[in-house]
């Protein structure tokens, strides 16, 4: 009976130990805990980063002090690869997945992209039209006055060539008018004078706005979405991440 109890106790202890071992081996690495993977970056809501982590602000670290981290990221984020290495600068930035997503712009590993503001240029604007009005300035008028002088003396020639004036008919049967349908028979007439119009020496063009302000202020347009600033922490000392 004692032998059976001893065997049962040994079996229970062995099973318990095996279960504990399985539980430990299957436990995922914590983001910023004591069992976090080296090189992991986590977010903290507190005022400091936990032990064995540091804020990634682009600072340089000594390679001899963080050889495991150096073997993972090298000098991707700065450093001379002899004595120093850099960590990412996460201040004011949000991480994105590197590579080329469907229909998206390719993103290189460790590349920095985006800007907080953008100033719109003419090339960025969509094609559009505006109505406009022109107000002339100067001495221009709507027309030019002309004066035609005639002679009250009787006519002394039967040809209008040479710039002759219209004159009084010598008798009631004399015809001095014509329809002028024969263009080749037309000739300049003396006694015609007119004042030249001054025309428009300038003017003002007014473009009517279609909405908003009539003139832009060239102020940069913000492109930052709603966000909340928190603290990033990078694991400097922890578990070495196994390759899959």
Q: Domain for residue 203, yes or no?
A: no
CA distances from 2 to 7, 8, 12, 16, 105 (A): 9, 10, 15, 21, 73
Q: What is the pTM of this model?
A: 0.56
Percentage of the chain exceeding pLDDT 70: 72
Range of the domain at 82: 44-94+226-239
Out of 154-163, 193-202, 226-235, least confident range:
193-202
Q: pLDDT by residue (tens digit) across 113-143?
A: 999 999 888 888 888 777 888 887 766 555 5
pLDDT of res. 143: 59
Q: Domain for residue 50, yes or no?
A: yes
pLDDT of res. 4: 42
**pLDDT average, residue stretch 206-228:** 77
**pLDDT average, residue stretch 208-225:** 74
Is the pLDDT score of 8 beyond 50?
A: no
pLDDT of res. 18: 40
Average model confidence (pLDDT) across the chain = 79
pLDDT of res. 15: 41
**pLDDT average, residue stretch 46-73:** 97
pLDDT of res. 180: 66
End-to-end, the C-alpha distance of the chain in Å comes to 50
CATH of the domain at 63: 3.90.1340
pLDDT of res. 111: 94
Percentage of the chain exceeding pLDDT 90: 41
pLDDT of res. 122: 82
Q: Domain for residue 125, yes or no?
A: no
Q: Domain for residue 214, yes or no?
A: no
SS (H, E, C) the chain: CHHHHHHHHHHHHHHHHHHHHHHHHHCCCCCCCCCCECCCEEEECCCCCCCCEECCECCEEEHHHCHHHHHHHCCCCCCCCCCEEECCECCCCCCCCCECCCCCCCECCCCCCCCCEECCCHHHCCCCCCCEEEEEECCCCCCCCEEECCEEEECCCCCCCCCCCCEECCCCCCCCCCCCCCHHHCCCCCCEEECCCCCCCEEEEEECCCCCCCCCCCCCEECCCCCCCCEEEEECCCECCCCC
Is the pLDDT score of 82 beyond 80?
A: yes
How far apart (Å, rounded) are the C-alpha atoms in residues 110 and 88? 8
Is the pLDDT score of 38 beyond 90?
A: yes
pLDDT of res. 144: 63
Q: Domain for residue 75, yes or no?
A: yes
Of the spans 74-83, 151-160, 191-200, 206-215, which averages the highest pLDDT? 74-83
Q: Domain for residue 121, yes or no?
A: no
Out of 82-96, 185-199, 201-215, least confident range:
185-199
Q: Domain for residue 175, yes or no?
A: no
Instruction: Count how many domains the chain has.
Output: 1
pLDDT of res. 215: 60
207 pLDDT tier (thresholds 50, 70, 90): confident
Q: Domain for residue 137, yes or no?
A: no
pLDDT of res. 133: 85
């Amino acid at each position: 009976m004692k032998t059976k109890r001893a065997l049962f106790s040994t079996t229970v202890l062995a099973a318990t130990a095996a279960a504990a071992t399985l539980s430990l081996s299957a436990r995922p690495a914590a983001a910023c805990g004591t069992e976090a993977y080296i090189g992991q970056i986590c977010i903290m809501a507190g005022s400091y980063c936990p032990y064995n982590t540091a804020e990634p602000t682009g600072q340089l670290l000594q390679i001899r002090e963080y050889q495991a981290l150096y073997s993972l990221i090298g000098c991707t984020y700065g450093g001379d690869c002899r004595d120093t290495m850099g960590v990412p600068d996460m201040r004011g930035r949000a991480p994105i997945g590197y590579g080329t997503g469907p229909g998206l712009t390719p993103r290189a590993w460790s590349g920095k992209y985006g800007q907080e503001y953008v100033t719109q240029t003419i090339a960025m604007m969509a094609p559009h039209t505006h109505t406009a009005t022109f107000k002339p300035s100067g001495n221009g008028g709507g027309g030019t006055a002309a004066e035609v002088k005639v002679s009250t003396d009787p006519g002394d020639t039967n040809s209008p060539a040479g710039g002759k004036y219209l004159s009084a008919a010598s008798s009631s049967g004399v015809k001095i008018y014509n329809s002028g349908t024969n263009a080749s028979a037309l000739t300049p007439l003396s006694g015609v004078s007119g004042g030249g119009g001054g025309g428009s020496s300038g003017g003002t063009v007014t473009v009517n706005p279609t909405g908003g302000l009539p003139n832009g202020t060239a102020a940069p347009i913000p492109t930052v979405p709603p966000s909340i600033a928190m603290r990033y922490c990078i694991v400097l000392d922890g578990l070495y991440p196994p390759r899959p």
